[in-house]
Chain A
Amino acid sequence: MEILANLSLGFSTAFSLANLFFCFVGVVLGTLVGVLPGLGPVATIAMLLPITYSFEPVTALIMLAGIFYGAQYGGSTTAILVNLPGEASSVITALDGYAMARKGQAGKALAVAAIGSFIAGTIATFLIALAAPPLAALAMQFGPAEYFSLLVMGLIVSIVLAHGSLLHAIGMILLGLLLGIIGSDVNSGAERFTFGQPWLADGIGFVVLAMGMYGIGEIINNLEKHETRDVMTKSVTGLRLSWAEFKGILPSILRGTGVGSFLGILPGGGAVLSSFAAYAVEKKLSKNPIPFGQGAIEGVAGPESANNAGAQTSFIPMLTLGIPSNPTMAIMIGAMMIHSIQPGPAVLTEQPALFWGLIVSMWIGNLFLIVLNLPMIGIWVKLITAPYHLMYPVILVFCAIGVMSISNTEWDVFLMAFFGVVGYVFNKLECEPAPMLLGFILGPMMEEYLRRALLMSKGDFSVFLTRPISATLLALAVVALIVVLLPTISKKREETFKE
């Protein structure tokens, strides 16, 4: 069994002392940012990226990944106890989770969320181990034409799955693609859109962009909202489920895992959409006499399992194809590049220890998380009401020092401030920043594949349609676009996002 050999390689990597320790640090930080108000995983990973420079690449990735899926756990705690989702992916959990807390069932809701997340995380980890090798093998056959079509399909699917306006999702992707092109052209060496500034010659740093949009922009947003947080229950009790209760919700957990695992793979899907879709599924199938929105336990189990499964499986396209399906994965790609690993199908064959070590660490991380989030829930509950007015100046300090430490130029600090304003204005205009970040990462790749494909076909654009895999990918993109533009479905899509 090849998979067993792979997993044992993974275990031997992940169980090294340093990797175990930083896996733990990652999930603790993840839970922390999930619980703390106004700080998300994207900004946190961007802030901590400079610190991981001195790490082994696999250790750095293990820790950064831990922050991402750890935040899914932490986010659900605030959703249930304060009705304020710590992360966008737990928005839906707040509906029934908070209703359960108001009825005095906070402990049960938290237990379901943690157990569901753990089961989902375990299954999703195995799915990655199963699906990644064949996908990577398939991707090895890809030429530039296939890659270009894959990127087009990825971007179109992410448009289809984006929240809010389709038109703005397209606009933001194009904006991101253009931003990504700033800097020296790899082929001709010509400097593009640099305005003659040497600090722009290498392009805009991904960390600068992400910290500006997600770190600084968010802070200004939070400051104008003036929200107050009252914890529902000071002490949480009854953190266990009876066997009968567990059997009752197991189908919901498994359904959520299925939905989440599938949507996590799709670009733009990931954790957020997974939880929404799983809630819709549970609402349709549930036989619970308690109506949804008033404390139905399935309304917690399904979405919480789904967001964790989706968070895990979103690593599949990142690790096998080198394509990010959400902003966090885009940062992970940035982290790999900093450690001079080119993300793509070759990672699996050239860096098997890194690949399998990362996957196994996710399962270990989930084990840590269930311990952190059940017996030790009391600690996190205290942090929910952490005073934001003392927190955000510290976040700013991290952002400022982080940016300076990467590039050692104050221009990047100014650029980060600029993107902070941009992020704030985009929020006012209801333009989602996520598609822009995807475009930003994919811009240079897309140009390069387009160039190579056209060079090989002697400038004939039909190459994208005559090669079967490429044509299939483009056909899928067209189908996705048509489906979402059909009036009946677009209405349904709006409903799903409104709930």
Chain B
Amino acid sequence: MGTTIKHPKDFYAGMMYFGVGAAAAYIARDYTMGSAVRMGPAYFPTMLAILLMIVGAISVVRSFLRKGENIKAFAWKEIGLIIGSIVLFGVLVRGAGLGPALVLLVLLSAWASPEFKLRTALLLAAITTILSVLVFVTGLGLPFPILGSWFSM
């Protein structure tokens, strides 16, 4: 397929614009269109969605005509660890509490660095967690449990 798509960045960006535009236009069918005098909830989004589909189509067509660089490889390990650590934080923060959620967030995300050392990461996790709890919960009074309901027997 590398022979027909000359500009992969334009191609995939165009597909994304077109896809989002098409999806938005499709979902907006359920809303009231209204008229120019009384614009319904669907009026403006549908206009935008159509424009976005046009931009996407141009970008895709252009990708067959104009040459461009290849998309550089994705850093899957880094994506997985960073995004995973944040999602895990979100999952844990209520049940397990801010303390455990922060420790795991720091440890897991620090692992993504090539300079990762377990001992430094543990130390960093401890310091960051204690300081954050002191600043945000004790100091600013944010309503997070330090240890969540999962730990209370």
Contact = CB atoms under 8 A, between A and B. Distances in A.
Interface residues of B, number: 70
A224 B113 CA distance: 9
B41 A389 contact: no
Contacts of A353: none
A187 interface: yes
B78 A224 contact: yes
Contact of A410 (B24, B45, B91): B91
A174 B17 contact: yes
A401 B31 contact: no
Interface string A442-474: 000011001100110011110000000000000
Interface stretch (A263-271, A285-293, A412-420): A412-420
A213 to B, nearest CB: 13
B89 A400 contact: yes
B57 to A, nearest CB: 11
A181 B58 CA distance: 24
Given A193-B27, A223-B82, A451-B39, A171 B55 contact: yes
B21 to A, nearest CB: 8
A431 B20 CA distance: 15
Contacts of A224: 75, 78
A449 B34 CA distance: 16
A396 B121 CA distance: 14
A181 B47 CA distance: 12
A368 B39 CA distance: 51
Interface residues of A, number: 62
Given A175-B20, A178-B52, A223-B75, A404 B110 contact: no
Contacts, number: 178
B113 A178 contact: no
Contact of A174 (B14, B35, B52, B78): B52
Contact of A459 (B37, B49, B71, B72): B37
Contacts of A396: 82, 85-86, 105-106, 109
A458 B110 contact: no
A170 interface: yes
A187 B71 CA distance: 43
A486 interface: no
A220 B82 contact: yes
Interface string B130-153: 001000100010111000000000
B39 A424 contact: no
Max count, chain A CB within 10 A of own CB: residue among B17, B94, B144: B17
B78 A429 contact: no
Interface in A379-410: 387-390, 392-394, 396-397, 399-401, 404-405, 408, 410
Interface string B33-66: 0011111110011001101100110110010000
Given A178-B45, A223-B75, A400 B86 contact: yes
A307 B57 CA distance: 36
A53 to B, nearest CB: 9
B36 A167 contact: no
Given A216-B86, A413-B86, A190 B31 contact: yes
A361 B150 CA distance: 48
Contacts of A491: none
A20 interface: no
Contacts of A404: 93, 142, 144
- Point out which of B20, B71, B79, B132 has the most chain A C-beta atoms below 10 A from its C-beta: B79
A421 B85 contact: no
Nearest to A387: B115
A171 B52 contact: yes
A192 B39 CA distance: 14
A220 B74 CA distance: 10
Contacts of B109: 392-393, 396
A216 B82 contact: yes
Contacts of A446: 44
A54 to B, nearest CB: 8
Interface string B78-112: 11001101110111011000100010011001101
Contacts of B102: 397, 400-401
Given A400-B86, A410-B90, A429 B105 contact: no
Given A392-B109, A393-B124, A413-B93, A178 B20 contact: yes
A454 B39 contact: yes
A412 to B, nearest CB: 8
The 8 closest A-B pairs by CB, nearest first: A413-B90, A459-B36, A459-B37, A389-B113, A224-B75, A410-B90, A185-B41, A447-B44
